[in-house]
A and B are shown apart, each in its own frame.
Chain A
Amino acid sequence: QSALTQPASVSGSPGQSITISCTGSSSDVGGYNSVSWYQQHPGKAPQLMIYDVSNRPSGVSNRFSGSKSGNTASLTISGLQAEDEADYYCNSYTTSSTWVFGGGTKVTVL
């Protein structure tokens, strides 16, 4: 199974909105609503930010939102803050009953 495709890096100024894309296929992203997003700060374990395409776990800021169109899922961070600087990974369930991650996107707050 091939990794989902994410941009290597995305940047924005404080207060701006940024969007990270995650492109797969009809065998993963396009075929299931089991798409999730994880934030990872250096040296830390990943943390769930979005599940089932667009749902936020309790405790996650409403500045984070998710969506999906066809084989591409997206994570939007609005009102960008310094603490949002981290790596972000998308993840999808697949037709093989397995999981696949994206390659990761480094978010830089300018």
Chain B
Amino acid sequence: QLQLQESGPGLVKPSETLSLTCTVSGGSLTSSSYYWDWIRQPPGKGLEWIASINYNGNRYYNPSLKSRVTISVDTSENQFSLKLKSVTAADTAVYYCARELGSTSNYFDYWGQGTLVTVSS
């Protein structure tokens, strides 16, 4: 059974960089059928897609966040990561990593449990 687990600091200061890692177990990141995504949800609000990457390093970003976001993949560790720079309180959210089936069908079939990141001094 595939499992995704987010990890990283739960508290980040304003103007600093938020860094999160998603560890994939029970499956490989190197399958060509999948992309690997980050999605966030501010407290009490809806879901927002942030970025996606595949094992080859093909990347896509939410246009509203593109200038501040970097997504990367480490196939040797079966992990992918998110960096969001110059954070503000508006970036406080539960951050989810998810697997995206990216072939003839497209959807998010596996999700991590989510990790709350608070931006505060």
Contacts and interface: CB of A to CB of B under 8 A. Distances in A.
Q: Please classify the interface of chain B as helix (H, G, I), strand (E, B), loop, or mixed, using the class held by over half of its residues.
A: strand
A45 B49 contact: no
Interface string A25-57: 000000010101010000001111001100101
Contact of A51 (B48, B105, B113): B105
Interface in A73-110: 89, 91, 93, 96-104
B60 A52 contact: no
B77 interface: no
- What's the interface size class on A, roughly? 20 to 34
Interface stretch (B16-24, B26-34, B61-69, B81-89): B61-69
Interface in B92-121: 96, 105-109, 111-114
A91 B96 CA distance: 15
B113 A93 contact: no
Interface centre among A32, A34, A51, A99 (most CB of B within 10 A): A99
A1 B62 contact: yes
A93 B46 contact: no
A18 interface: no
B66 to A, nearest CB: 10
A46 B106 contact: no
Interface of A: 1, 3, 32, 34, 36, 38, 45-48, 51-52, 55, 57, 89, 91, 93, 96-104
Interface of B: 37, 39, 46-49, 52, 60-64, 96, 105-109, 111-114
